[in-house]
Structure 1
Amino acid sequence: MGFVVVPATLPDIRAIYDVWFAAFKGQLILDLIYPGTDLNDEAFRKVHTEGTLEYWKGLSMEHTFQCIDTDTGKIAGMATWQVYWRERTAEERQKPWIGWLEGDQRERAEGFLGQLWEKREKWIGPKRHVYCHTVAVHPEYQGKGVGARLMQWGMSVAEQLNVPIYLESTVEGVPLYQKLGFQTLSEDILFKPEITRVDKEVRAPLMVKMPIAAGNMTFEEWVEDKSPSVKAT
């Protein structure tokens, strides 16, 4: 079994999100942003694909990749990266909103995304960085190194720019990122039961990876530094 990671193109949208939906089936994120939705419904998938197509057309800083099984041609996984080689604009830092939901469902989803946004604003603000927006591996390919392959592109770009990578993980995802050299920040995100709809808080660890050029500089020190990128030490 061989794999290759290549950029996603517009015709790949439907197949890529087949993988994304399969990877996150039964998890909190889908219940939040697509509550009560039959993800296999053809009408929903048509609207989702068309909406994603329009979204991609307007992107300048976000890049989606797919990992292909070269034996079968199937998409084994996907990842989306945001590369801020320059400081983020005010528009790029706006608080996220969910236009397709209403009432309590919208409040709940935006409450979830708002907590992610608040932490990223606190730690990153406008500074140059690489953000791992999502990594999804199809259940058939989990445990085969696909996730690590999808991480390599963003890690390489961060080294070229001498900037850190920032991401929000699940508790289950922490070991993968640690193997790749990521560190867990001293604080994480706790989602309250009114958002998760379960009896306990759900934790989302925040993880970062500093570039080699940082030497002994910690992420916290970088946050306080006013330089546009890490200074080689």
Structure 2
Amino acid sequence: MGFVVVPATLPDIRAIYDVWFAAFKGQLILDLIYPGTDLNDEAFRKVHTEGTLEYWKGLSMEHTFQCIDTDTGKIAGMATWQVYWRERTTEERQKPWIGWLEGEQRERAEGFWGQLWEKREKWIGPKRHVYCHTVAVHPDYQGRGIGAQLMQWGMNMAEQLNLPIYLESTVEGVPLYQKLGFQTLSEGILFKPEITRVEKEVRAPLLVKMPTAAGNTTFEEWAEDNNSSVN
């Protein structure tokens, strides 16, 4: 039959993050936030699921979706969107912290997330916008248009609200976003080896998509304007 994107519910947490962990297996992000962890360990996954459950209970602006293979019932992909139809509060703009790590591991992870936070603060600040927090497609389903389907909800919401979309990407993810009409900002993020603890610099492109109502207004012009609407 195909695939369908639906909102995720609390009982879906474990299966959704099965997909997330599989999609990012071997990538820097997992080594940063769960260094030296056996991601298949049942005790770890139990704690992770319980922690995510508590996190979800406190959310008001974040929405998680799952793409389901209607032939098998398996989750093919997941995405998390933050929709700021109002300005972000001071609490929502706090610099991220990684409370489950200590010492050098925590310093490393927070150094990474801190750079992402700094760029978002520079470009967005308190402004109303739509933020794509993550998109993950299970390796078994990659190359089948799942990522584009997961992006559609956020793009529709941004159009409805006349707000720009902002996201950070891996270099490998850029082609997907460009096909969907996103533009790469000239100023991305370059993570130095002293932060990532890997041998080479790691680049994280920043991508944006303006709503149709913006006309010829660029994201940079929007970011400089004190008015957060493009109506």
TM-based fold match above 0.5: yes
Q: How many Å apart are 1:34 and its aligned residue? A: 0.1
| Matches for 1:41-80 after TM superposition, within 5 Å | 41-80=41-80
How far apart are 1:117 and its partner, in Å? Answer: 0.1
SS of alignment partner, residue 5 of structure 1: strand
Q: 1:197 Cα deviation (Å)? A: 2.0
SS at match of 1:59: coil
What value does the CA root-mean-square deviation take over the aligned residues? Answer: 0.8
User: SS of 1:132's equivalent?
Assistant: strand
Looking at structure 2, the residues matched to 18 and 60 of structure 1 have their Cα atoms a distance apart, in angstroms, of 24
SS at match of 2:39: coil
Please say if residues 222 and 228 of structure 2, whose CA atoms lie closer than 8 Å, have aligned partners that are also in contact. no
Residue-by-residue CA offset, 1:141-186 (whole Å, 9 max, x unaligned): 0000000000000000000110100000000000000000000001
Question: Is 1:199 paired with 2:199?
Answer: yes
Q: How far did 1:58 drift?
A: 0.2
- What is the DSSP-based 3-state SS (H/G/I as helix, E as strand, rest coil) of the residue aligned with 1:17? helix
Give me the whole-angstrom Cα distance separating, in 2, the residues matched to 1:225 and 1:5. 35
Q: Deviations over 1:53-96 (max 9, x none)?
A: 00000000000000000000000000000000000000000000
> Secondary structure of 1:107's match?
helix
Offset of residue 200 of structure 1: 1.2
Write the distance in 2 (CA, Å) between the matches of 1:84 and 1:165.
Answer: 10
The answer on 1:173 being equivalent to 2:160 is no
Match of residue 182 from structure 1: 182
Q: What TM-score, normalized to structure 2? A: 0.99
Q: Is the 8 A contact 2:4 2:67 kept in 1?
A: yes
Q: 1:87, 1:177 → 2: CA distance?
A: 25
Deviation of 1:133 after TM superposition, in Å, equals: 0.1
User: What is the alpha-carbon distance in structure 2 between the residues aligned to residue 65 and residue 195 of structure 1?
Assistant: 31
How far does residue 199 in structure 1 lie from its aligned partner after superposition? 1.6
Structure 2 unaligned spans of 5+ = none
Structure 1 segments (4+ residues) deviating >3 Å: none
Deviation at 1:228, TM superposition (A): 2.8
Aligned-pair distance for 1:204? 0.1
| Partner Cα distance (1:66, 1:32) in 2 | 25
CA distance in 1, matches of 2:215, 2:104: 47
8 Å Cα contact 2:85/2:128 also seen in 1: yes
Distance 1:215 1:72 in 2: 42
Question: Is the 2:184–2:208 contact (alpha carbons within 8 Å) kept by the matching residues of 1?
Answer: yes
Give 1:196 deviation, angstroms. 2.0
Q: How many residues align?
A: 231
- Residue 227 of structure 1 deviates from its aligned partner by 1.7
Distance in 1 between the 2:198 and 2:56 partners? 34
Runs of 5+ consecutive residues of structure 1 not aligned to the other structure:
none
Cα deviation per residue 1:75-129 (whole Å; 9 max; x = unaligned)? 0000000000000000000000000000000000000000000000000000000
Q: Deviations over 1:33-69 (max 9, x none)?
A: 0000000000000000000000000000000000000
- Residue by residue over 1:1-26, the C-alpha shift from the partner in whole angstroms, topping out at 9 and shown as x without a partner, is 50000000000000000000000000
